């Protein structure tokens, strides 16, 4: 996810590549009346007070698997470096989220990096608050004096989270390949961290498929070969992808996506494809441009959202995909925030838009980019922010979920 989503609350309920083939779920091949794929989503929404919000969204009604996406609460690096218990406030927050997932299959995703994927995830202070930027961007764990200790601390965090959530699948490093794009000289150290995290995951839960997720928007065009080669030493049981094709100018509609775009990298190494994180916006993005005029940045009618979901389902059927993780069950933002420009519809929500714009400082171009960044994930839900089903994608979702799961 983008850096702007760091302040979003994660709701708990509701090749030359080195990889390891794992039986995972042990599912039999589905027959015509059953399905082999499972539908997953997170309960991520934005709290307009910019505080934490834990709730159930509609996951109990909508999904087969609850996706717990831990990209928002930081990592208690200091505690795990010192081999002490994590801060009590943070631990209580994690326990509350875990309680919401009881009785459900869980796909757990963990992030060693912050939302910009250039810097280690925020540390957690003793009072539970976060400390971003505790290490500089592109920190080279291979050469830093504390690099090995940081890798060990993250492995301990992975063990802690697996023992708490008991996931059926675990992503040990969300979108880790974006670190290579930004920080190629420090990549070997991050690969070592991922490998240590993978080993910890397999030690904690040997039968649970473990893997990093690969952001495939950057595995595109002329950069494909170099970025694919960089994945060679990551350890994984699945080729798990994060994909947001609507953010690529050439793929303005689902029909524009090349036939092998979702599958190419997994197929190249003969790996099992897994949809770790994806979605398509259900509305346009309009933002205040540097010239003071309102600009339509993306035009995404709801029909395209349903078309993209149908593409995912067809791809899953054709490639034996176990899980389709649609990023959010409900929209991250209310619909008015996406197109009301300049924002006037609600002082509370206009303050939220203003906050994200303020991250760009006094530069109108950066303010515009920050507004677009948060809106880029605003209406990914199969339901609106208030929980009302969004059509037509919600009907397509229910149709795809209707067949019984294969045994």
Task: Report if residue 93 sits inside a domain.
Answer: yes
pLDDT at 47: 87
pLDDT at 169: 98
Rounded Cα gap, residues 156 and 197, in angstroms: 8
Q: What is the mean pLDDT of residues 341-364?
A: 95
| Per-residue pLDDT at 2 exceeds 60 | no
Beta bridge partners of 273: 239
| Per-residue pLDDT at 353 exceeds 60 | yes
The residue range of the domain holding 80 is 3-282+298-333
| Per-residue pLDDT at 336 exceeds 90 | yes
Tokens of 68: 């717990």
Task: Report if residue 229 sits inside a domain.
Answer: yes
Pairing of strands 123-124, 130-131: antiparallel
Over residues 267-314, the pLDDT tens digits come to 999 999 999 999 999 999 999 999 999 999 999 999 999 999 999 999
Over residues 145-192, the pLDDT tens digits come to 999 999 999 999 999 999 999 999 999 999 999 999 999 999 999 999
For 255-307, the DSSP string reads GGS-TTTTTHHHHHTTPPEEEEEE---SS-EEEE-TTSSEEEEE---HHHHHH
Task: Report if residue 103 sits inside a domain.
Answer: yes
Q: What is the mean pLDDT of residues 3-28?
A: 40
pLDDT at 15: 36
CATH code assigned at 219: 3.20.20
pLDDT at 6: 31
Task: Report if residue 289 sits inside a domain.
Answer: no
Query: Using an 8 Å Cβ cutoff, are 58 and 14 in contact?
Result: yes
Query: Using an 8 Å Cβ cutoff, are 11 and 57 in contact?
Result: yes
Q: What is the mean pLDDT of residues 76-82?
A: 98
Pairing of strands 65-70, 38-42: parallel
Beta bridge partners of 404: 34
Question: Considering only 50-64, 231-245, 352-366, which range has the smallest mean pLDDT?
Answer: 50-64
Task: Report if residue 393 sits inside a domain.
Answer: no
pLDDT at 24: 42
- Short-list 194, 164, 166, 162, CA closest to 178: 194
Task: Report if residue 396 sits inside a domain.
Answer: no
Task: Report if residue 51 sits inside a domain.
Answer: yes
Rounded Cα gap, residues 331 and 381, in angstroms: 4
| Per-residue pLDDT at 16 exceeds 80 | no
pLDDT at 19: 55
Over residues 337-347, the pLDDT tens digits come to 999 999 999 99
Of residues 179 and 33, the one with the higher pLDDT is 179
Helix (H) or strand (E) holding 103: none
For 180-219, the DSSP string reads HHH-GGGHHHHHHHHHHHHHHHHHH-TTS-EEEEEEGGGS
Q: How confident is the model at residue 55 (pLDDT cuts 50, 70, 90)?
A: low
Task: Report if residue 372 sits inside a domain.
Answer: no
- Number of domains forming the structure of the chain: 1
């Amino acid at each position: 996810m983008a850096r702007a989503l760091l302040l979003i609350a994660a709701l708990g309920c509701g090749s030359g590549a080195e990889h390891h083939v794992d039986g995972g779920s042990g599912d039999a091949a589905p027959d015509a009346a059953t399905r082999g794929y499972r539908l997953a989503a997170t309960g991520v929404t934005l709290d307009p007070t910019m505080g934490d919000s834990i709730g159930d969204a509609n996951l109990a009604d909508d999904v087969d698997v609850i996706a717990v996406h831990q990209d928002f609460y930081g990592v208690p690096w200091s505690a795990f470096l010192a081999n002490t218990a994590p801060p009590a406030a943070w631990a209580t927050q994690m326990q509350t989220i875990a309680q919401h997932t009881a009785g459900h299959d869980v796909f757990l995703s963990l992030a060693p990096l912050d939302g910009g994927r250039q810097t280690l995830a925020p540390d957690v202070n003793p009072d539970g608050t976060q400390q971003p930027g505790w290490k500089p961007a592109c920190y080279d764990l291979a050469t830093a004096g504390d690099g090995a200790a940081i890798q060990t601390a993250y492995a301990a965090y992975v063990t802690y989270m697996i023992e708490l959530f008991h996931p059926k699948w675990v992503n040990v490093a969300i979108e880790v390949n974006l670190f290579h794009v930004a920080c190629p000289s420090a990549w070997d150290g991050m690969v070592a961290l991922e490998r240590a995290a993978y080993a910890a995951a397999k030690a904690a839960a040997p039968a649970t498929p473990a893997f990093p997720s690969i952001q495939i928007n950057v595995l595109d065009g002329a950069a494909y070969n170099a970025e694919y080669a960089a994945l060679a030493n990551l350890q994984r049981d699945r080729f798990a992808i994060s994909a947001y094709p609507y953010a690529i100018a050439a793929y303005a509609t689902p029909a524009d996506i090349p036939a092998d775009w979702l599958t190419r990298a997994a197929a190249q190494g003969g790996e099992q494809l897994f949809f770790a994180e994806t979605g398509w916006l259900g509305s346009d993005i309009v933002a205040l441009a540097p010239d003071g005029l309102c600009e339509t940045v993306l035009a995404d009618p709801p029909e395209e959202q349903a078309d993209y979901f149908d593409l995912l389902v067809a791809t899953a059927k054709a490639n034996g995909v176990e899980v389709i993780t649609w990023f959010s069950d409900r929209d991250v933002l209310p619909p008015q925030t996406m197109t009301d420009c300049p924002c006037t519809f609600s002082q509370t929500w206009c303050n939220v838009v203003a906050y994200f714009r303020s991250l760009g400082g006094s530069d109108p171009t950066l303010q515009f980019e920050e507004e677009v960044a948060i809106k880029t994930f605003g209406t990914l839900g199969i339901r609106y922010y208030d929980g009302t089903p969004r059509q037509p994608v919600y009907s397509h979702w229910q149709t795809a979920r209707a067949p019984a799961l294969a045994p």
